[in-house]
Amino acid sequence: MEIVLEKKDALNAKLKISLNEADYKPKVDAKLKGYAKTAQLKGFRPGKVPTTVIQKMYGKGVLVEEINGLLSNTINDYIKTNSINILGDPLPEEQSDHAIDWDNQTEFQFGYDLGLVPEFTYELKNLKLNRYEISIDKKAVETTLDNVKKQFGKSTNPEISEAGDALYCEITAPNGEVKSGLLYLERVNKKHVAPFIGKKKEDVVEAEISSLFEEAHVLAHLLGLKTEEAAELHGKYSFKINNINRNEDAEMNQELFDKTFGKDTVTDEAAFKTKLEETIVENYKRESEQLLRRDIKLAAVENISFDLPNDFLKRWLLVTNQGKITMEQIDSEYDMYLKELKWNLIKNRIAKDHGLTVEEAEILQYAKENIIRQFGNMQLTPEMDETLTKIAENQLKQDKGRNYMKAYEEILAEKVSALASGQVKVSEKKISVEEFEKIVAA
């Protein structure tokens, strides 16, 4: 066997592998002998099928299988032993299958294209970013209070509809087609909502469907259509009201205090509002840090410059997606993919340079905390914690270990961003809630 690495340039290389019969024949012969011992073929006693027959039946398949396995192990070992940092996976040279005569050849040559990780330098202290301190005003507190009341309120079915209700309707199109849906009056165009107010069960309202909502995707959701289909609808539709749903706000009492912050954490309205404001401040502090880390990622990708083997990467994306996407789709989305790849390379380089690692216990704790958040930050007893640990372990094993790797990458990204936030030039800036939300949405 001969292995040669040929570097085309700093980003591309070719790995050439030459095999002779001695490299693969012993394993091929051993596997064929195994088949001969167990083969059952009409006209022959078990284990007595002639070698020539076994060779004819299984020879080519075994040869291909063994050579492919040999190549895979050889490539992986060579890359690992020689510490070659590659992007994606080695790609076989583009050639037609008939170039190899599996029936007669005994010596084989294979070539693999490699995309190489680029060398680059970075200087985090050159990045200039803002850390925002959000001013919490009375309006923000009142808005949060309204949301809490709605969250812990109760659902009722009143006799007469009012603004803000949701009407479960039987909807009939001009062509007679009937569908059912939940019509949220707060989403209806204000100019056309009046006919739906003051109605009771069994009442029918007619409305021009094209004017009912300002955005087609809302209508699409109501009727179970694609947005482009909903945008083409017009004509008078009939809405027969089958039920009226209303969410009533929770009362300001001890039950609300306990549901929001835990039993007896606060015991009067003044303390409740103070605690609510403190919670809002802490939440915005976390959001501000998350925004800073997002901006670190964007600034790093924008300002740390290096080239990548783009032709190789596009081909690798096409091959690995196995016909699920076209080269046209890859070209249209490549810039977005490239930014994510650049960040991963930068993140991994910073982690390596500063000795940042992720431990098994951190990954498990991360998974457990995600589950707890899904259940509303529930308080855990020791017994529940044991069950939660088992659930988290099973979750991390799912999707062929991808959940585990996703958790690993997210924890590592958090560590890198936290380290970087202490090195970049950060200016403190005080802004309003509205200004902050605009920045986050940008």
CATH number at residue 332: 1.10.3120
* Residues 195 and 337 occupy one common structural domain: no
Residue 310 lies in a domain: yes
Residue 405 lies in a domain: yes
| Per-residue pLDDT reduced to its tens digit, 377-412 | 555 566 777 888 899 999 999 888 889 999 999 999
Which segments in the chain show pLDDT lower than 50?
97
Q: Looking at residue 376, what is its pLDDT?
A: 58
Number of domains in the chain: 3
Residue 373 lies in a domain: yes
Residue 422 lies in a domain: yes
> How many CB atoms are closer than 10 A to CB 306?
15
Residue 132 lies in a domain: no
Torsion angle, CA of 309/312/313/319, rounded to 10 degrees?
Answer: -170
* Residues 281 and 238 occupy one common structural domain: no
**Of 89, 116, 143, which residue is a domain's last?**
116
pTM (predicted TM-score): 0.72
* Residues 172 and 299 occupy one common structural domain: no
* Residues 280 and 234 occupy one common structural domain: no
Burial (CB count <10 Å: 0-12, 13-18, 19+), residue 272? buried
* Residues 304 and 362 occupy one common structural domain: yes
Domain hosting 73: range is: 2-116
Residue 263 lies in a domain: no
Q: What are the tokens at 237?
A: 């539709």
Residue 359 lies in a domain: yes
* Residues 318 and 421 occupy one common structural domain: yes
Q: Looking at residue 382, what is its pLDDT?
A: 67
| Per-residue pLDDT reduced to its tens digit, 317-347 | 999 988 888 999 999 999 999 999 999 999 9
SS3 at position 131: strand
Q: Looking at residue 52, what is its pLDDT?
A: 81
* Residues 307 and 423 occupy one common structural domain: yes
* Residues 70 and 205 occupy one common structural domain: no
Q: Among candidates 112, 117, 111, 113, which has minimal Cα distance to 87?
A: 117
Residue 58 lies in a domain: yes
* Residues 431 and 337 occupy one common structural domain: yes
| Look-up of token digits 């596009």 | 314
Burial (CB count <10 Å: 0-12, 13-18, 19+), residue 318? middle
